Amino acid sequence: MQIFGNLLRTSGLGRVVPVVVGGLVAAVVLAPVSASSWGGGSTGCANSGCTTPFAVPLPIPQTLSPTSQDATTDYYTVTEQPANLSVIPGKTTPMWTYNGTWPGPVIKATSGRQVKLHVINNLSFATTTHLHGAHVAPSSDGGPVDLVPVGGTRDYVYPNNESARTQWYHDHVKDLTGKNVYMGLAGLYLISDAQEQALNLPNGAYDVPLAIQDRTFNTDGTLAYAPSSSDYRTGLMGDTLFVNGAAQPYLKVSTHKYRFRILNGSNARYYTFSLSNGATMSQIATEAGLLSKPYAQSSITLAPAERADVVVDFGNVPVGTSVTLRNNSGWNGATDIMRFDVNSSTNDPSTVPATLRPFTPLSASAVSVRRTFTIEQQRDGMWTFNGKMYDSARVDANVALGATEEWTFQNKSGQDHPIHMHDINFQVVSGANSSSSGPNSEWKETINVPSWSSVTVRTQFPDFTGIYMFHCHILEHEDHMLMSQFKVG
Ligand SMILES: [Cu+2]
């Protein structure tokens, strides 16, 4: 697959797409295609998937059952496997999946109870599974070169000492994360805790994950993942929007509050979410869990890998009407994400309390080290921190266990970069969206660093020693070397 990655990176021959044949993957070179070859014209399709908005119901990803449980641990198994899925009308799409579904099954963990995840690799290339947002030992972090071989297995140990939050797991192989995630290797991982349960937030059927991803298709239904050199700059955006693996779906809802756990699981696309009826969304969590209080938001922008848990109240929406979840970003005209059809009335005992989880700012006086990482794109298209490409043999920050540090990400490019740190959460102390009134002023784990701008975060490095990644979560940037390593201890 390294060769395949190089083919993708250097191909001037046209698009290189994988074809799954009897479990083997072969690279097939197709004629170059331009965006104008789909849509609008003879096909009359609005996107390459030729999907119709609001024609299919929102799937709720299956919750994975543990294979066993003991006093301390829940044991799960997922199998990485090819699957031929029906995700656009009249076509079959070969994908790479966890347990045969896209997205993968939801793992529901309990804070304080360990999860051991047994991953079986039945794909034709080595993989690595990263639990995005988790505070785990490096050996279970699924680093880019810590591979599970073809036909092999791996047991990842997740202590789940985090508070309640919405996490996700995805492939993280060096050079190929964009490809592998695009092909389907992503799923949700939700942690709950007693404090969250006591809040009386909407739960059960009223707690719905929305994993939002964009994809472009070839005419034969295969996924068109072939980043061009301009995609190395902007990241690769699909033209067809999916929620939980369904294109622009609808969800039948009742006159009740709903908790939507929104994941931007796209490789590169940013979304600015809003509701068509102008109602506010009550944001109750970032990717780092519950906020101190709900924030009423008329729109919410999420960069790739960011999450927002929001409560939407359909209590005053007339039965028989609909509300559309929109993307105001407008890039490529991908506007309508999904529709909520209010079709029944119901009693709603759930609440959104005025206070959720205490937030304690890290003290500036505790900061012992300040570092700056400058982001640039080099002449060859590769992305660098401080002029250096990712190298698994190099560590760019040696951090003392327990230290409090401030890291500044200085963006000297015309592209935004969502920067994600493994192992820890951080607080944004200056730069993007750090207004004292915004949800991004509390705990975060991925933060957008706008073009020609900088963001400073403050964090601590507790518990685990060893090497972790930090990187851009535009996956085409990550795969083109905008990734680095820090070592704790
Ligand atoms: Cu980036």
Give the Å distance between the CA of 200 and the centre of ligand 1.
38
Give the Å distance between the CA of 450 and the centre of ligand 1.
10
- Going along the chain from its start, the domains and CATH numbers come out as 2-37 (no CATH), 68-197 (2.60.40.420), 204-344 (2.60.40.420), 364-488 (2.60.40.420)
Closest among 361, 356, 357, 390 to 373, alpha carbons compared: 390
Query: What confidence score (pLDDT) does residue 24 get?
Result: 34
Give the Å distance between the CA of 383 and the centre of ligand 1.
8
Pairing type for strands 250-254 and 336-344 reads: parallel
* Average per-residue pLDDT for the chain: 90
Cα separation, 155 vs 119, in Å, equals 6
Q: Report yes or no: 94 and 84 within 8 Å, Cβ to Cβ.
A: yes
Give the Å distance between the CA of 285 and the centre of ligand 1.
24
Give the Å distance between the CA of 372 and the centre of ligand 1.
16
Give the Å distance between the CA of 265 and the centre of ligand 1.
15
DSSP labels, 436-480: TTSGGGSEESEEEE-TTEEEEEEEE--S--EEEEEEESSHHHHTT
Give the Å distance between the CA of 476 and the centre of ligand 1.
8
Give the Å distance between the CA of 235 and the centre of ligand 1.
8
Residues with Cβ within 5 Å of ion ligand 1? 417, 472, 474, 477
Query: What confidence score (pLDDT) does residue 6 get?
Result: 30
Give the Å distance between the CA of 84 and the centre of ligand 1.
31
Cα separation, 146 vs 172, in Å, equals 9
Cα separation, 87 vs 103, in Å, equals 11
Q: Give residue-wise pLDDT tens across range 458-469.
A: 999 999 999 999
Give the Å distance between the CA of 453 and the centre of ligand 1.
13
Give the Å distance between the CA of 482 and the centre of ligand 1.
7
Give the Å distance between the CA of 170 and the centre of ligand 1.
18
CB hemisphere CA count around 38 (13 angstroms):
21
Cα separation, 205 vs 197, in Å, equals 15
Query: What confidence score (pLDDT) does residue 431 get?
Result: 87
Give the Å distance between the CA of 102 and the centre of ligand 1.
25
Rg over alpha carbons for the chain, rounded to the nearest Å, is 21
Q: Report yes or no: 469 and 422 within 8 Å, Cβ to Cβ.
A: yes
Query: What confidence score (pLDDT) does residue 236 get?
Result: 94
Give the Å distance between the CA of 237 and the centre of ligand 1.
13
Can you give the pLDDT of all 489 residues of the chain as single tens digits?
332 333 232 222 223 333 333 333 333 333 333 333 444 344 689 899 999 999 999 999 999 999 999 999 999 999 999 999 999 999 999 999 999 999 999 999 999 999 999 999 999 999 999 999 999 999 999 999 999 999 999 999 999 999 999 999 999 999 999 999 999 999 999 999 999 999 999 999 999 999 999 999 999 999 999 988 888 889 999 999 999 999 999 999 999 999 999 999 999 999 999 999 999 999 999 999 999 999 999 999 999 999 999 999 999 999 999 999 999 875 655 689 999 999 999 999 999 999 999 999 999 999 999 999 999 999 999 999 999 999 999 999 999 999 999 999 999 999 999 999 999 999 999 886 555 568 999 999 999 999 999 999 999 999 999 999 999 999 999 999 999 999 999
Give the Å distance between the CA of 176 and the centre of ligand 1.
15
Give the Å distance between the CA of 353 and the centre of ligand 1.
36
